[in-house]
Amino acid sequence: MTLVGDVKDKIAILIDDLVDTCGTICLAGEKLIEAGATKVFAMCIHGVLSGPAIQRLNRFCFESIIVSSTIPQEENMRQCSKLKCIDISIILA
């Protein structure tokens, strides 16, 4: 994985279409922190969050992880206080 650009002393926002086990997004977040980012936020449309995803998100230093409501997230939000869900039903209705 290669970081393009300068993130030193900046807030970084990772955007992805789908996160499943969160391995890639956590690796990307680690690269940003190593490169000097002060905070890292993550946003994705489809939060599948299977297998070790919640444990990884709890361990990693994301400020918050924002997902849409395309997949129910109530149980995941109970297990991970950093996880936030945006309701997009009005957009799809």
Q: Which residue ranges make up each domain of the chain?
A: 11-87
3-class secondary structure per residue, 8-33:
CCCEEEEEEEEECCCHHHHHHHHHHH
What is the model's pTM? 0.90
pLDDT truncated to tens, each residue of the chain (93 aa)?
889 999 999 999 999 999 999 999 999 999 999 999 999 999 999 999 999 999 999 999 899 999 999 999 999 999 999 999 999 999 988
Q: Which CATH class is domain 11-87?
A: alpha beta
**Contact call for residues 86 and 69 (beta carbons, < 8 A):** yes
CA dist 9 → 6, 16, 41, 74, 93 (Å)? 9, 22, 14, 34, 41
* CA angle 84–81–57, rounded 5-degree value: 85
CA 82 centroid distance within chain: 9
